[in-house]
Amino acid sequence: MHAPAPVPAPVLASRRRTLAIDVLRYDPQAPASQPALQRYLLEEVDGMTLFIALNEIRERQDPTLRFDFVCRAGICGSCAMVVNGRPRLACRTLTRDLPDRVVLAPLPFFDLIGDLSVNTGKWMRGMSERLETWIHEREREVDITRIEERMEPELAAAIYELDRCVECGCCVAACGTARMREDFVGAVGMGKIARFRLDPRDTRDDGDYYELIGDDNGVFGCMSLLACHDVCPKSLPLETWIAFLRRRMVLQAADPFPSGG
């Protein structure tokens, strides 16, 4: 009689871990509050993102934990935080890509609301108003029969690429210059100017843009540290935009009246 065939070893179940999530907690509104790390232990599940982990903690362990989210899909930019020293979007960060111990802190530079929640919106709005990040059209009579002028697909694609920024603030939080100059517009601000510089509907010229970013709070303050480029969750080519603007602004500084006017 033959011996029974060996039973194949079961396919190993995916490794389950207990994550230790240390959150830097602080309430700037409470006079007695002191910044301190608080540890939460959590069973990891397949496909878990940091956003899911934090929700789990808030629902089952600590309803006082503060953090922001809206879309859960990397679109609204509100869940940015520092994850093991690097700014990231919590909803786009899988726990399986992280070690067993995860340290979370709020983005630096922006006003702290509490724990992991920061007010990036206030800073983004101030920067947008300062840089006038809207199309400045030539004044003309309203003509409701007018069809918007055609734009070459390549140009529309280039503008769309610049519009993919979700204003998460990761680039500013990672930038050493922003720590030194509180009015620095950051890679996000320069990206917005690059966007309007490309857009033929915007009637501003290089001289106008020079007024906005041709100083130490704009392209000449940037020290090419490139942390912005490394951490942008949308993988935007920030380095290329900044180099493009710097060339334009240097030309403008050298010859403010290139047409001879």
Provide the binding-site residues for ligand SF4, judged by CB under 6 A. 165-171, 187-188, 191, 232, 234, 236, 238
H/E/C letters for each residue in the chain?
CCCCCCCCCCCCCCCCCEEEEEEEECCCCCCCCCCEEEEEEEECCCCCEHHHHHHHHHHHCCCCCCCCCCCCCCCCCCCEEEECCEEEEHHHCEHHHCCCEEEEECCCCCEEEECCEEEHHHHHHHHHHHHCCCCCCCCCCCCCCCCCCCCCHHHHHHHHHHCCCCCCCHHHHCCHHHHHCCCCCHHHHHHHHHHHHHCCCCCCCHHHHHHHHCCCCCCCCCCCCCHHHHHCCCCCCHHHHHHHHHHHHHHHHHCCCCCCC
Residue 75 partner contact from ligand SF4, ligand F3S, ligand FES, none using kind-dependent CB cut-offs of 5 to 8 Å: ligand FES
Choose between 98 and 175: whose C-beta lies nearer to ligand SF4: 175
Least distance (Å) between residue 49 CB and ligand FES = 9
Residue 224 partner contact from ligand F3S, ligand FES, ligand SF4, none using kind-dependent CB cut-offs of 5 to 8 Å: ligand F3S
Choose between 167 and 199: whose C-beta lies nearer to ligand SF4: 167
Least distance (Å) between residue 115 CB and ligand SF4 = 21
Choose between 198 and 225: whose C-beta lies nearer to ligand F3S: 225
Burial 91-110 (b: 16+ CB within 10 A, else e): bbbebeebeeebbbbbbebb
- The contact set with ligand F3S (CB under 6 A) reads 175, 177, 186-187, 222-228, 242
Structural Rg of the chain based on CA atoms: 24
Choose between 75 and 158: whose C-beta lies nearer to ligand FES: 75
Residue 177 partner contact from ligand F3S, ligand SF4, ligand FES, none using kind-dependent CB cut-offs of 5 to 8 Å: ligand F3S
Choose between 161 and 167: whose C-beta lies nearer to ligand SF4: 167
Rounded Cα distance between 219 and 212, Å, is 10
Pattern of binders to ligand FES over 49-88, x per CB under 6 A? --------------------xxxx-xxxxxx---------
Least distance (Å) between residue 190 CB and ligand SF4 = 9
Residue 78 partner contact from ligand F3S, ligand SF4, ligand FES, none using kind-dependent CB cut-offs of 5 to 8 Å: ligand FES
Least distance (Å) between residue 165 CB and ligand FES = 12
Choose between 104 and 188: whose C-beta lies nearer to ligand SF4: 188
Rounded Cα distance between 104 and 85, Å, is 8
**What are the residues binding ligand FES (CB under 6 A)?**
69-72, 74-79, 89, 91
